[in-house]
Amino acid sequence: MSHVFPRHCHAQLPTAVGGDGCYLIDSTGKRYFDASGGAAVSCLGHSNERVRQAIKDQVDRLAFAHTGFFTSDPAEELADLLIANAPEGIERVYFVSGGSEAVEAAIKLARQYYLEVGQPERRHLIARRQSYHGNTLGALAAGGNAWRRAQFDPLLIGVSHIAPCYEYAERAEGESLAGYGRRAADELEAEILRLGPETVMAFIAEPVVGATLGAVPAVEGYFARIREICDKYGVLLILDEVMCGMGRTGHLFACTGEGVRPDIVTIAKGLGAGYQPVGAMLCSGAIYDAIASGSGFFQHGHTYIGHPVATAAGLAVVREMLERDLPARVRALEPVMERELRKAFGQHPNVGDIRGRGLFWGVELVADRDGKEPYDPAKGVAGKLKKAAMAQGLICYPMPGTRDGRNGDHVLLAPPFVMAEEDAGLIAQRLAAAL
């Protein structure tokens, strides 16, 4: 009997024993093309020599030094490199061990910022329905997936949720896409006014929605309007790039490609590329300065923040990404993925939508293509497709319907940036066979 506590208690999972480029290998020797990189994690594939060597060298040199006593070379160098390539105004990096921790740090930083600048009433966070920002209690409270939240209510922080903004969402009769984007963003202003601007600290959203909905970019103009509204009311804009960041959409920071400037941005998954658990919360110089010139102490931290081996891995990942200009490669592969997915699924009776950016794609599964009727969530269609795809030697990430609104089951594709062009066809064919 296994003594591991698996998340899905009754799942019979193969044992992974090796990784080779885009492939994972199980104990029977079966090879799986990792078309989702776990969940948008393994951006460099599974056997990157530079990252493996950097980890070994760092363990040999220094494995751990608590950040209460020391800084370390890899943490300093990685912070320098991230800031040199960060969105305008972002000046500081706070290292953590993963995405949920990065979101927790972002929420607490927003709260502490407004305490330090003498606006203690600003404690309310606004997020979007159907969103996912992590699974620790604060990050879960931020997320707007009703099903995930339900059994933990009441959650710890004051959060309200506005509608998300998706290109494929139903628009009002005769409404232009730009008009819809503006109307969706204006919901933020209405919510700020409803709560009272003096009580709102921040708004959080993914620039390209990954978790829950499967690679959905916002409508053009939406984020420009969101930025205007945040500026007008002094609401901090937190962009969660845990999934869509680190080159996944064709830019090191997704918000750069989407044309929006954050006050705080979170990254994780692709930063460690699966080699080490590492994430980061980055913030503007103004926010950092308020803390530094105020209490001088950020009231947040964990034992493993800024871990030398984790940051050494992150440093090797970002160097590899920039020196090989992998974001440009991702941009070049975008139309190839789109073409292959449309070829395989464009007319499929149970595919409602195919959308994405870069190497970040979502395939929506529907009971009927024309009416876009979602499957009954109880059927677990995305989970079944994941299983069938594994039988075909393909890893795709299942996203069950949110059980909230019309958003039904999806699978997410987020293959390694180092995949060959022909691999786009292989992914589409294996997924089609599974479907």
Binding residues for ligand PMP, rule: CB under 6 A, are 39, 98-100, 103, 132-134, 206, 210-211, 240, 242-243, 268
Nearer to ligand PMP, 98 or 250 (CB): 98
Nearer to ligand PMP, 139 or 185 (CB): 139
Which lies closer to ligand PMP via its Cβ, residue 113 or residue 132?
Answer: 132
Minimum CB separation of residue 143 from ligand PMP in Å reads: 8
- Comparison of 99 and 308: residue with beta carbon closer to ligand PMP: 99
Which residue, 363 or 428, is less far from ligand PMP as judged by CB? 363
Residue type, 365: L
Q: How far is the CB of 102 from ligand PMP (least distance, A)?
A: 7
- Asked if 187 contacts 224 with a C-beta cutoff of 8 angstroms, the reply is no
Minimum Å gap between C-beta 389 and ligand PMP is: 19
For CA atoms 215, 427, 410, 5, the dihedral sign is negative
Shorter beta-carbon distance to ligand PMP: residue 230 or 239 = 239
382 in Cβ contact with 398 (< 8 Å): yes
Nearest-CA neighbor of 288 among 277, 280, 296, 300?
296
Of 202 and 426, CB closest to ligand PMP? 202
Q: Cβ-count burial of 55 within 10 angstroms (0-12 exposed, 13-18 middle, 19+ buried)? A: middle
**Closest separation between CB of residue 98 and ligand PMP, Å?**
3
Give the residue from 418, 412, 348, 361 showing the smallest Cα distance to 386: 412
Residue-wise burial string across 71-85, b where 16 or more C-beta atoms lie within 10 A, e elsewhere: ebebbebbbebbeeb
The helix (run of H) or strand (run of E) holding residue 328 is helix 326-345
Q: How far is the CB of 104 from ligand PMP (least distance, A)?
A: 9
Task: Return the sign of the alpha-carbon dihedral for residues 67, 73, 78, 79.
Answer: positive
Give least dist CB 367 to ligand PMP, A.
26
Closest CB to ligand PMP among 39 and 431?
39
Q: State the nearest-atom distance from the C-beta of 254 to ligand PMP, in Å.
A: 10
* Terminal CA-CA length for the chain: 33
User: 3-state class of 369 per DSSP?
Assistant: coil
The CB-of-149 to ligand PMP minimum distance in angstroms stands at: 15
- Looking up tokens 């090989």, which residue turns up? 324
Question: For residue 199, what is the DSSP state?
Answer: G
Degrees to nearest 5, angle at CA 177 with 172 and 178: 115
Of 99 and 408, the one with the shorter C-beta distance to ligand PMP is 99
Q: Where are the alpha helices (DSSP H) in 196-284?
A: 222-233, 254-258, 269-272
What is the bridge-based pairing of β-strands 279-284 and 373-374?
A: unpaired
Strand positions, DSSP E, 124-171? 124-128, 159-162
Residue nearest to ligand PMP (CB): 99
315: which strand partners?
A: none
Q: Considering the complex, what minimum distance in angstroms separates the CB of residue 142 from ligand PMP?
A: 9
DSSP letter at 396 equals -
For residue 351, the minimal CB distance to ligand PMP (Å) is 23
Nearer to ligand PMP, 35 or 268 (CB): 268
Judging by DSSP bridges, how do beta strands 208-209 and 159-162 pair with one another? unpaired
